[in-house]
Amino acid sequence: MAFESAWGIAEKDKDAKTLDALLDDSLTYTDYDGTLKTKSDFLAGVKAPGHNRELQVVESTAARVYGDTAVVTGIYQVKGVDKGKPYLRRGRFTDTWVLRNTNWVCVASQYTLLSR
């Protein structure tokens, strides 16, 4: 859960160095609109000057650990501005974390919008 929290803070602060450490090089990220992204795609979007995340609130999370793998699910809201357009989204996420060389890294992430 600490890694999920660190991810949210790093994304809001555009902290690509922290995100780089949390995300595996093989990351597969499925965004809310169905766009499939690699780690480099995801980091480029976070660093983009036209993308500013103002608020991220995690409403709930749950984790299941299977040896060296953990699956985290939850619901969160995010508010920001993307390319000059304000947004407020609420969605469900599923993140898959794997223990590699004593470090937990996210190898897959998926985010689905929830209807209001």
CATH, domain range 2-113: 3.10.450.50
45 Ramachandran zone, left/alpha/beta (phi>0; psi -120 to 50): alpha
Residue identified by tokens 């000059």 is 84
* Residues 32-54 pLDDT 10s: 999 999 999 999 998 888 888 88
Nearest to 108 by CA among 49, 19, 56, 39: 39
Asked whether the beta carbons of 41 and 25 are under 8 A apart, the reply is no
Kindly state the helix (H) or strand (E) to which residue 47 belongs, with its residue range: helix 39-47
Structural domain boundaries in the chain: 2-113
> Is pLDDT above 70 for 14?
yes
pLDDT tens string 83-111:
899 999 999 999 999 999 999 999 999 99
How does residue 70 score in pLDDT terms, banded at 50, 70 and 90? very high
Q: Which pLDDT does position 4 carry in this prediction?
A: 86
pLDDT at residue 68, as a whole number: 97
Across the chain, mean pLDDT equals 92
Calculate mean pLDDT across residues 27-36.
96
Decide: 39 and 27 in contact? Cβ < 8 Å: yes
pTM (2 d.p.): 0.90
φ and ψ of 44, to 5 deg: -60, -40
Report the pLDDT value the prediction gives residue 116, as an integer from 0 to 100. Answer: 63
